[in-house]
Structure 1
Amino acid sequence: MRVDGVGGPKGNLPVGTTSFIGRRAELDELSALLSASRLVTITGVGGVGKSRLALAAAARAAGRFRDGVWLVRLSAVADADLLAYTVAAAVRLVDQTTRPPLDVLVDHLADRRLLLILDTCEHLVDACADLVERLLRGAPRLTVLATSRQSLGAVGEQTLRLAPLSLDPPRPEPPPGPVGVREPGEGEAPAALSEAVQLFVARAAAVTPDFAVTAENRAQVALVCDRLEGIPLAIELAAVRTRTLTPQQILDRLEDRFVLLHRPEEGEPAGERGVPDRHQRLLTTVGWSHELCGSDERLAWARLSVFPGAFDVQAARAVCADEWLPADAVHEVLTRMVAKSLLIRNGPAGAPRYRMLDTIREYGARWLTELGQSATARQRLRDHYLRLARRGEQAWFGPDQAGWFARMTLEHENIRAALELSLGEFDDGESALDLAGTLWFFWVGAGHLAEGRRFLHRALDAATAPGAGPATTKALWVIGYISVLQGDLPLAISMLIRCRALAKVEGDERAEAYAVHRLGCAALIGDRHARAAALFAEALDRYCALGEVNSNVIMGWVELAMAAAFTGELDRATRLCEQAVALCEEYGERWAKSYALYVLAFIAFTHAEPDRAAELARECLRINHSFHDLIGIVLPIELLALCAANAGECDHAAVLQGAAGRVWKTVGTPLFGSVYFGAAHVKCLDLAQGALGPERYQDLYERGLGLALDDAVACALGTTVNPCIARHDQRKDEARAAD
């Protein structure tokens, strides 16, 4: 699990962009429920503020959860099978094994004191209930806070039904006072304003700084909130209209709209009759806001509803821009929509991201269907992320590798949506193959091996002409590559042989080169070094003939160097790695470079240069930690453990071996089952156990086994084991005290 910083606050709670108004009693009640129960669900109508209350309660309770508070937004998840993957991604769990994702989650959370917020569960109630029950059984210190329009019905669930904000009682309009005088009603202090009115005033003042409740407008503001039934989202949408309308004008327009609630026109969809009155009033307010938007805003609103997650300006232009909404106007339209509370903006000023609340998105999607543009907008979304994936693949071999890792991580929800559209609504297996295969750098570089493999298999099954075209051969070698990294050699070899045969038939020389390369990887971790070296050499010759130069090609050099190093050809291995490092530095590539550094560290230790070996291994570790690359993390930790044992720091070595043991559980077969990859581990074990004795070694090993990934990396990068042991002991003491 990667967090914001070792020793810093853990979790992913967003920083509030607006103040939290009212709800003190509900916040206290929710805090009490979270102290007494491990599963609490906030229920209520759409727009009533369930998510905001959950975040406020989580921020208040954060100090009780040593492993952080983690928010999982579920509104974008349409497929229940992706639920566990989504939760894993949100808690930044990287697992590269073939285990079911729910099993991985349970194992990851088993010893953690953590608050998990599942936001917007109503469309996945059964799946969420099953997931929560399984997690709570397997993770005794886990607490779950859910938001949903209905309860989950899970064992042990406590519910808090969230009512609308409190309202002022109806009162006659006071006689007008001097214009601009801000004063409370007779005998009443300003603090007596209802929660609903306080929210209206706060949001109105955000767009009209001199707005305040006065003797002239208080009754109208209170009536606006009353007509909106105290629903926070509806109040916010109305309040932003104070930029151009007085409270009385807002009230008049709302009254006109609400009259229509009880007089549906002929031909109005019958399904609306069954909507609860409060939610109907919210939808009516949303509709009124829609009418007050300009035509460009309404068009953008409809088209942007296809985004399941947050999006940037570039994505918005790709989906929205045409002859009716020019590309250079999109950013300004987004800014106006933020001002009208139709979009939420976050992220740095230079790279903002935008998100729609669920109710706003639902209305926009309905309008998009009315316009007959739903399929077009969804296809634009899919095509944009296919283009983005292609750009990312090209840029992965370059100086902005880390930037693309971060960008694709932010776009994870939208990438999933693009794949699901191709596999579902569009029934376009070929495009799904293209996108899933092109994303190899994301599946591998960001540690999403299991999810990538799942999408690749689904795309192969869905392709209309399986066995034909470069997208198919690419998907086959990517599955083979992923399976090698997962230690699933039988599947890897099967897929790669199939890819090579198909590529030969179709004349796809590039795919054939990649298949040969990855067959070499399978041979390498299977300790068949002569075979591996021959396959790597063949693949590199093929790459050279094609003029192919990228991260995969450099990894071919590094893997050939590994095979040479394992068989004692250290000079040859050194030359290959030095060439790889030089090329990486020329192009600004870091990921493949890190593996070259690992091999050079292995060679340095073999040459009796342990300090140099440790220096190189630490640099390798720093790079791969930034990419969430577990294999690239665990291999240098094993080597650093050996360096520590060789220097007589056997306490440190034993803890590092335990830390590596935990990481291997999320990679797959420890050390791939390879004698050669395991040589450093075995030698370190002999040295450490010999110096410490079996019992002391095992105690320290278990302390390392208890370290979270970030703590393990910090321990490996440090020069002493004491902070690692102290953190582990503190966690154990906290657990005993809590129990």
Structure 2
Amino acid sequence: MNLFVGRERELTRLDRLLSDARMVTVTGVGGVGKTRIALRTAAVAAEQERYCDGVRLVELSSLNDPALLDHAVVEALGLTDHTARAPRRLLLDHLAERELLLVVDGFEQLVEGCAELLRELLRGCPRLRVLAAGRLPLRIEGERVFTLAPMDEDDALLLLAERAAEVRGGERPDGGRGSAAAELCRRLDGIPLALELAAGRLGTLSVEQLLRRLDDRFRLLTGGGRGALPRHQTLRTTIGWSHELCTGAQRLLWARLSVFAGSFDLEAVEYICVGPDLPQHEVLDVLGELLDQSVVVREDGPGGIRYRLLDTVREYGAEWLTAAGDAERLHRRHRDWYLGLATWCELDWFSPRQAEAAARVEGELPNLRAAMEFSLGSSDDVHLAQYLAATLWFYWTGCGRLAEGRHWLGQVLDAEGEHDGSRLKALWVLGYVAVLQGDAVAAIAALQECREAAELRGDPVAVAYAVHRTGCLALVTDDMPRAEELIRSALAGYEEVGELNGNVLMGRVEMAMAVGFRGRLEEAVQVCEQVVEVCEEHGERWVRAYALYVLAYAAWYGGDPERARTLLRETLAISHAFHDLVGTVLTLELLALVEVDTGDPVEAAVLQGAAERIWPSVGLPLFGSAYFYAAHVLCEERTRERLGDPAYEEHRRRGAATAPEEAVARALGGRQQADAAAELAPAREGRGPEEPAHAEARRLPLRAERGDGGLKR
């Protein structure tokens, strides 16, 4: 990535302004460097640890739907929420007491919605500060506007020299106030993006040649009078001039790259942008040429090399694509590529490439959103939007994206247009999401509609999924006989049609939970051991974690808490890696019970407190289910007995103050054993021999029944 050059005075002023105001917006013409100076200011603040809860960037340039604004901020903050509560409420709750700097970039197309969101966050979160970057102010109460001017001559010369050296093997152009380089900087009005584009040409042209060509361009556009040229026109002129200097293949690829939202990879470019006029074998070379000219920016990340067009450059390319009459075709190719990508990722979710599939969808989310938006624009393509939203079920449910999944599923199901089997899949996925969010009303409505329509169409696969997810609803609402009946029926339906994937295996685990809660723990163990074997054969990890959770409970119940702890740590590591809060918090709850039964009530109280902090992001604690809640109740009883109420509350509060990441690390073995033992010593003092804590539980399966609200064993 290019290093930040110059702007020392501006950085100092912006930093001072941010210290005095809670809301600062950097404005200026396109290409003047608003984003880079905001990011540089934020990076310095992060390095100096000025904000206790850190600095977070919210990139909005690829977003067009105001309804996704809140989701974008939730994503930027790394929050995972399984509940049906609005993302706005989640943001307000999360940021209420946090001291954090939020950097918001690229909001021009969402000014009103962005202003409304930030206004509410600033009012409700007194320690929050916002640094925004855009072409116009947001006009929020208390907003301070920092208008970024183009670079002065010295900084412009420095930037030109640095960037030219990158494309000329370290050779810098002769610079000085009277040089051709200085004249070039003046002609470009000191706009950094214009300078970057010009520097990209210095690999093949001298400064003098470049200056003559640029001068001709200015005269052509302004009738020879350059003095009154507005700076935004300067940038557009420079981009247009750079476009004219491109070869036909370069112009073609530039225009076609404009269909991407956010970043993209070479594989996608080689499918979407090719044609008789741009063969696939030429794409890599042409892309490299656009990189050399600073038209395309390279980004190196954990997922590999990706590329991006800067907003202004993308807008210019999109205009040319539209003018050429090729926009519709390219957007369809873009949509089709991402339909295929989602399909392959769904298949890979049931394979050793499960983690890679999750990461791929995460990186491509802006493009997947754009594909859904494009399909919703035509009634003939609504079924494709439904297919895409439904195919991403594994990402919505397995990777902590329930709220956004609920948004898209609602959008595609409400849209009027052509429908096919994709609608049935979208319905059962919506029902599944609603079950996990604790929204029984929405779940029942979606699943009933799915089942009735599937029976009319004669679609046994959709019937099985609707029955399965209705059984899940029964499971978390404590109707175990019905849960077992429905899930068994669904599993039989899957077997009849030859369906085998993560959903089917999860159905087996859910059935194991239902029969285990009904007292048939040996049967539950047998089912989950078979599930683990199938998961190992296919390299599946997400369902495996839930099967291990059931086996860990069985191990604890059978008097082997050390095996239970080992299984639960593996479960926790998997659930946490996939951002699956349901699996994470269930595991912490059971780990707490294992800790108290192996002689560490302090750790049990801490883990219960940590789980208590996470549950609001999942829904009702332990789903409001007496069956799932039984382990928590038993753990609390035993922990209070061993520590006493004051000590229990102290350690529980300590756990509740622990960030989820820290709590998971602790549960995975990162805590100091010596400190825990030292805290535990006074609690054990004066106690005689005790029956092992799990002995009592071994007499009957741990279960609960609804009645007077008490726990029956």
Tell me the equivalent position of 2:211: 251
d(CA) in 2 for partners of 1:233 and 1:617?
A: 52
State which drifts further: 533-542 or 404-413. Answer: 533-542
Tell me the equivalent position of 2:690: none
Tell me the equivalent position of 1:119: 105
CA drift at 1:113: 2.3
Native 8 Å contact 1:433 1:463 kept in 2: no
d(CA) in 2 for partners of 1:77 and 1:65?
A: 27
d(CA) in 2 for partners of 1:427 and 1:53?
A: 44
Native 8 Å contact 1:711 1:724 kept in 2: no
Q: Is 2:251 aligned against 1:317?
A: no
Partner SS, residue 143 of structure 1: strand
Q: Is 2:159 aligned against 1:199?
A: yes
Tell me the equivalent position of 2:370: 417
The within-5 A match list for 1:446-595 is 446-465=399-418, 469-595=420-546
Of 229, 234, 237, the residue aligned with 1:281 is 234
Q: Is 2:111 aligned against 1:151?
A: no
Tell me the equivalent position of 1:55: 39
Tell me the equivalent position of 1:174: none
The within-5 A match list for 1:594-605 is 594-605=545-556
Partner SS, residue 150 of structure 2: coil
CA drift at 1:158: 1.5
CA drift at 1:647: 2.4
CA drift at 1:427: 6.3
Q: Is 2:2 aligned against 1:36?
A: no
CA drift at 1:90: 1.6
CA drift at 1:332: 2.0
Tell me the equivalent position of 2:9: 25
d(CA) in 1 for partners of 2:20 and 2:292?
A: 40
Aligned-partner residue type, residue 444 of structure 1 = T
Partner SS, residue 137 of structure 2: coil
Native 8 Å contact 2:303 2:359 kept in 1: no
d(CA) in 2 for partners of 1:215 and 1:470?
A: 66
Q: Is 2:208 aligned against 1:208?
A: no
Tell me the equivalent position of 2:125: 139
Native 8 Å contact 2:150 2:189 kept in 1: yes
d(CA) in 1 for partners of 2:405 and 2:119?
A: 27
Partner SS, residue 352 of structure 1: strand
Tell me the equivalent position of 2:683: none
CA drift at 1:396: 0.7
Tell me the equivalent position of 2:79: 93
CA drift at 1:119: 0.6
The within-5 A match list for 1:385-404 is 385-404=338-357
Aligned-partner residue type, residue 591 of structure 1 = W
- TM-score using structure 2 length: 0.91
- Offset from partner CA, 1:531-579 (integer Å, 9 cap, x none): 1111111111111111111101111111111111111111111110000
CA drift at 1:239: 1.1
Q: Is 2:190 aligned against 1:237?
A: no
Q: Is 2:368 aligned against 1:407?
A: no
CA drift at 1:283: 0.5
d(CA) in 2 for partners of 1:85 and 1:724?
A: 40
d(CA) in 2 for partners of 1:276 and 1:55?
A: 29
Partner SS, residue 678 of structure 1: helix
Tell me the equivalent position of 1:171: none
Aligned-partner residue type, residue 58 of structure 1 = A
Tell me the equivalent position of 2:332: 379
Please tell me the root mean square deviation across aligned C-alpha atoms, in Å.
2.1
- TM-score using structure 1 length: 0.88
State which drifts further: 580-589 or 607-616. Answer: 607-616
Task: Decide whether aligned partners of structure 1 residues 226 and 684 sit closer, same or farther in structure 2, where only a CA change above 3 A counts.
Answer: same
Native 8 Å contact 1:38 1:143 kept in 2: yes
CA drift at 1:55: 1.2
d(CA) in 2 for partners of 1:718 and 1:142?
A: 33
CA drift at 1:722: 8.2
Q: Which runs of 5+ in 2 are unaligned?
A: 677-713
d(CA) in 1 for partners of 2:472 and 2:8?
A: 59
Task: Decide whether aligned partners of structure 1 residues 210 and 497 sit closer, same or farther in structure 2, where only a CA change above 3 A counts.
Answer: closer
Native 8 Å contact 2:174 2:181 kept in 1: no
Native 8 Å contact 2:346 2:357 kept in 1: no
- Offset from partner CA, 1:115-149 (integer Å, 9 cap, x none): 21101222222222211121122222222110011
Native 8 Å contact 1:165 1:195 kept in 2: yes
Partner SS, residue 242 of structure 1: coil
Tell me the equivalent position of 1:733: none
Of 87, 96, 109, the residue aligned with 1:110 is 96
Native 8 Å contact 1:41 1:152 kept in 2: yes
State which drifts further: 339-348 or 667-676. Answer: 339-348
- Offset from partner CA, 1:712-732 (integer Å, 9 cap, x none): 21122226478999xxxxxxx
The within-5 A match list for 1:363-378 is 363-378=316-331
Q: Is 2:667 aligned against 1:712?
A: no
Tell me the equivalent position of 1:190: none
Aligned-partner residue type, residue 320 of structure 2 = W
CA drift at 1:215: 7.3
Native 8 Å contact 1:655 1:721 kept in 2: no
Q: Percent identity?
A: 50
Q: Which runs of 5+ in 1 are unaligned?
A: 1-16, 168-193, 265-272, 726-739
CA drift at 1:67: 2.4
d(CA) in 2 for partners of 1:214 and 1:392?
A: 52
Task: Decide whether aligned partners of structure 1 residues 215 and 596 sit closer, same or farther in structure 2, where only a CA change above 3 A counts.
Answer: closer
Task: Decide whether aligned partners of structure 1 residues 423 and 576 sit closer, same or farther in structure 2, where only a CA change above 3 A counts.
Answer: same
Task: Decide whether aligned partners of structure 1 residues 426 and 587 sit closer, same or farther in structure 2, where only a CA change above 3 A counts.
Answer: same
Q: Is 2:651 aligned against 1:682?
A: no
Task: Decide whether aligned partners of structure 1 residues 133 and 696 sit closer, same or farther in structure 2, where only a CA change above 3 A counts.
Answer: farther
d(CA) in 1 for partners of 2:674 and 2:316?
A: 53
d(CA) in 1 for partners of 2:671 and 2:126?
A: 32
Native 8 Å contact 2:398 2:580 kept in 1: yes
d(CA) in 2 for partners of 1:632 and 1:349?
A: 25
Aligned-partner residue type, residue 216 of structure 2 = D
d(CA) in 2 for partners of 1:651 and 1:517?
A: 40
